[in-house]
Structure 1
Amino acid sequence: MEPGPPGATRPAEPGPRLHGECGADLAASASLLSRAEAEPQRRALAVAAVLPAGGSGERMGVPTPKQFCPILERPLISYTLQALERACWIKDIVVAVTAENMEAMEGIIRRYQHKRISLVEAGVTRHRSIFNGLKALAQDQPDSKLSRPEVVIIHDAVRPFVEEDVLFQVAAAAKEHGAAGAIRPLVSTVISPSPDGCLDHSLERARHRASEMPQAFLYDVIYAAYQQCSDYDLEFGTECLQLALKYCHVKAKLVEGSPDLWKVTYKRDLYAAESIIKERISQQICIVMDTKEDEEHVGRHLEEMLKNELNHLKVTSVTLCHAGRDLQQVILEQCYSFVCVNVMTSEFEETQKLLNTLKESNLSILYPVVVISVHFLDYKSVPVDQKMENLMQIRELAKEVKKRNILLCGLLIFYPQDKQKLQESVRQGATIITTFIKERNSGFIGQLLVA
């Protein structure tokens, strides 16, 4: 299925919030009251999740299994785990992975600080992997840290954009009906060909739906279904809801899913997923300036230009006299784009302070953080050659912070100029900043760009 639009209008990326804050996102239209009412219901569910992640990525045509393919230098499966971890009411997440990829998966869990994750060895087919995950949740397993849940969610490791609301809806529906699954309208009409390759008949698209993930079940229902499965089911089957119906006579409740539930299947889907992630983490920009709020200097022109050019994004400013308190708040809001305007101080003093704060925050563990160090050159008081030589230290600084997933580049704007020329330079600077933030292109790293 081709990827649809991101679906969520809010800028927050999929996955858990930093500093332990999670489980707070509901549908954008929900009121504060309904949020408060829904949270106890979520926590009352005893829920676990199983992710089959033993696929080979054959349809993608790449040697690396698709769940381990990098997006912004981070494996795809990490984004999916992040989305599930965001739901604090999911107690355990069991990942079924092949023996040869077990060590790599353990490394991903450590590097990206995933929590509540247990690994089991995958089977040779999707259903066998799911069954292995379900068996790991059974109470009769020796030395197991897992507990038997009331409801189990089954989700694909390569569907990274699942929202907490959908997870909760299928889990709640499963508790009531025994089984539930997300569905979406069909994009194309389904046809049945005859043995000679001609059209036999077609289905009426409006009457049918595409089965998606996540799906959820009462644990006892889906476990009993898998225990009764034939070898043919385990070898060639793909639809879990059908197993619950076939062996336990449980009709699944179908829940309308969002456009975000598409599955990364082909190589082009990786580019689409990267584009969505970049868009989501580029919705807020923080401008840090070395001046008091009531002071007027050239950095304010850049701030106003960015606000005018990026009226669809959230642009906030922080002055260094309040930077400690205000920056922490911006970081808690998960801002991944920073512009540090250096006017009053020399070279990279304030940029270095910002970089140190970002490194201490661990903000860049999950997503690349962009920092643009802006410098205004008064060529009447400082020789251009001297200024440029001093600013070239950005190359070494950028190499250092790149190890922490912070992408640093410099921007030089000549000042003073007449009003019209300055306005044009600032506008060009705003364009450069916007491009770097949206693209997060490693080609900009360590560069000193001139507006």
Structure 2
Amino acid sequence: MEPGPRSRPAEPGPCVSASPSAGAALPASGAEPGSRPAAVAAVLPAGGCGERMGVRTPKQFCRVLGRPLISYTLQALERVCWIKDIVVAVTRENMEEMRNIIQRYGHKRVSLAEAGATRHRSIFNGLKALAEDQPDGKLTKPEVVIIHDAVRPFVDEDILLRVVIAANEHGAAGAIRPLVSTVISPSADGCLDHSLDRAQHRASEMPQAFLFDVIYDAYQQCSDYDLEFGTECLQLALKYCHTKAKLLEGSPDLWKVTYKQDLYAAESMIKEKISQEICVVVNTKDEESVGYLLKEALRNELNCINITSTPLDLPGRDTQNFLMAQCYSFIHVNVVSSDSHETQRFLSIIEESSLPLLYPVVVVLVCFLDFTLVPLTQKMESLVWIRDLAKEVKKSNVLLSGLLINHSQLALTV
């Protein structure tokens, strides 16, 4: 049974045009070649039942490390600040569960549309939601729309940006990967008819991106057969709008969670990503401070780790935003060792977020003392305080360790 909801961190939370002719494949007039359009949205079809996975729960709602798979995908898209709207097409019976996921994990910029009976019908419904005038102004028509799978959680900003820019120039674009296996065609009697040269073909992956008017026009012209049995959006743009998609090599991370064993692979990748990110939190913006120097030293020593630095002297609500990246390892640098309320405030923010509900959060508290000026009793008080605090926050799944560093000695050796 799931733990009850806690208060969530705030997440960072607009689109034009008239229909071109069916053959239009060029960006809107005035768009710079190689530039990203101002208005970008995304559509995620999430109406599948997970038949190939062989489980009752639709695969997009299967839990990986305690969290629904689709939540990871939404998180990956929400990290990209220039994606203004995300429309998830979900079946009517799963609509309430999707709303609960959005609320529980603090997702923003996400709207829901009702999924259709097939993948193409779900995408079409998502596009309709973006095309229609919204009375409350929540959704606006984009220039470029990204289509992505709800069960491909490892998409990064680089490939999203590349397909969007290419779609802005060519009308359509999609990620591809080399074929792993040779494709063969069997005859009616179950014998080999012919095989394809693997080097001459590619696997179509997601994400894909389109000028909105191109893909929306293509879906409006679609036959019932296409909507029922088709799978390839790029083919629809070619067939109905004569728009040849630009194909871009994608990374191995773009694979789709399809079978039950894929959930274990996804779990392993998520754990690896978690272990390779450290957020250094300092209570000063001074680039000459020991906190900044420590961050730079860590960056040099741990070259495989993604290190970010976030000053803690921000207004309370803004301070929570760095938790958006779902980092689970923190180094909190307390330049003024006696200023314990900063540490307690930081730990309170973590405890009130969704992070410790899912996995242990590791925090290393670094306090600087000038041992030539600080009496032994104060050193011992600092050690006892850190120990007692570690015992307290461990109840909330936060693992705290402490370091006391001789500030004067460090300053001499840096």
How does the TM-score come out when normalised to structure 2?
0.68
CA gap of 1:408–1:153, structure 2 versus 1, over 3 A, is same
Task: Tell me the distance in 2 between the aligned counterparts of 1:311 and 1:252.
Answer: 37
Residue 47, structure 1, aligned to residue 40, structure 2: yes
Q: Is the 8 A contact 1:52 1:130 kept in 2?
A: yes
Alignment of 1:237-276 (within 5 A): 237-276=230-269
| 1:370 CA drift (Å) | 2.6
Q: Is the 8 A contact 1:18 1:363 kept in 2?
A: no
Residue 398, structure 1, aligned to residue 389, structure 2: no
| 1:392 CA drift (Å) | 10
CA gap of 1:373–1:71, structure 2 versus 1, over 3 A, is farther
Q: Structure 2 residue aligned with 1:113, among 87, 99, 106?
A: 106
CA gap of 1:66–1:225, structure 2 versus 1, over 3 A, is same
| 1:316 CA drift (Å) | 11
Residue 62, structure 1, aligned to residue 58, structure 2: no
Where 2:158 maps in the other structure, the secondary structure is helix
Alignment of 1:29-178 (within 5 A): 41-42=35-36, 44=38, 46-140=39-133, 145-178=138-171
Task: Tell me the distance in 1 between the aligned counterparts of 2:306 and 2:234.
Answer: 42
Q: State the match for 2:381 in structure 1.
A: none
Q: Is the 8 A contact 1:174 1:180 kept in 2?
A: yes
Q: Is the 8 A contact 2:10 2:321 kept in 1?
A: no
| 1:356 CA drift (Å) | 4.6
Q: Is the 8 A contact 2:11 2:321 kept in 1?
A: no
Q: Structure 2 residue aligned with 1:337, among 311, 329, 344?
A: 329
CA gap of 1:221–1:69, structure 2 versus 1, over 3 A, is same
Task: Tell me the distance in 1 between the aligned counterparts of 2:308 and 2:98.
Answer: 38
Task: Tell me the distance in 2 between the aligned counterparts of 1:228 and 1:241.
Answer: 14
Q: Structure 1 residue aligned with 2:181, among 188, 192, 199?
A: 188
The one-letter code matched in structure 2 to 1:408 is L
Task: Tell me the distance in 1 between the aligned counterparts of 2:206 and 2:220.
Answer: 22
The superposition leaves residues 238-277 of structure 1 with CA deviations (integer Å, 9 ceiling, x where unpaired) of: 1111111112221111111122211111122122122222
Q: State the match for 1:199 in structure 2.
A: 192
Where 1:120 maps in the other structure, the secondary structure is strand
The superposition leaves residues 334-356 of structure 1 with CA deviations (integer Å, 9 ceiling, x where unpaired) of: 65225899xxx9xxxx8x98465
Where 1:278 maps in the other structure, the secondary structure is helix
Q: State the match for 1:360 in structure 2.
A: 349
Q: Is the 8 A contact 1:122 1:128 kept in 2?
A: yes
CA gap of 1:54–1:371, structure 2 versus 1, over 3 A, is same
Task: Tell me the distance in 1 between the aligned counterparts of 2:133 and 2:332.
Answer: 57
| 1:284 CA drift (Å) | 2.8
CA gap of 1:332–1:410, structure 2 versus 1, over 3 A, is closer
The superposition leaves residues 162-183 of structure 1 with CA deviations (integer Å, 9 ceiling, x where unpaired) of: 1112112212211222211111
Residue 370, structure 1, aligned to residue 362, structure 2: yes
The superposition leaves residues 62-107 of structure 1 with CA deviations (integer Å, 9 ceiling, x where unpaired) of: 2211111122222111111111122222221111011111111111
Where 2:36 maps in the other structure, the secondary structure is helix
- Is there any run of 5+ residues in structure 2 with no aligned partner, and where? 1-8, 14-31, 283-297, 367-386, 403-414
Where 1:149 maps in the other structure, the secondary structure is coil
Q: Is the 8 A contact 2:175 2:206 kept in 1?
A: yes
Task: Tell me the distance in 1 between the aligned counterparts of 2:80 and 2:324.
Answer: 18
| 1:18 CA drift (Å) | 8.0
Q: Structure 2 residue aligned with 1:284, among 271, 278, 282?
A: 278
| 1:359 CA drift (Å) | 2.8
Where 2:81 maps in the other structure, the secondary structure is coil
Q: State the match for 2:221 in structure 1.
A: 228
Aligned-pair RMSD on alpha carbons?
4.8
The one-letter code matched in structure 1 to 2:214 is V
Kindly tell me the number of residue pairs found equivalent between the two proteins: 352
| 1:139 CA drift (Å) | 3.4
Where 1:152 maps in the other structure, the secondary structure is strand
- For structure 1, which segment, 245-254 or 363-372, has the greater mean C-alpha deviation from structure 2 after superposition? 363-372
The percentage of counterpart residues that share the same residue type is: 70
Q: Which has the higher contact order (CA 8 A, sep 6+)?
A: 2
Q: Is the 8 A contact 1:43 1:89 kept in 2?
A: no
The one-letter code matched in structure 1 to 2:66 is E
The one-letter code matched in structure 2 to 1:336 is Y
- Is there any run of 5+ residues in structure 1 with no aligned partner, and where? 1-16, 22-37, 289-305, 375-390, 412-451
Where 1:192 maps in the other structure, the secondary structure is strand
Q: Is the 8 A contact 2:37 2:144 kept in 1?
A: no
| 1:41 CA drift (Å) | 3.7
The one-letter code matched in structure 2 to 1:59 is R
Q: State the match for 2:295 in structure 1.
A: none
How does the TM-score come out when normalised to structure 1?
0.63
Task: Tell me the distance in 1 between the aligned counterparts of 2:155 and 2:222.
Answer: 28
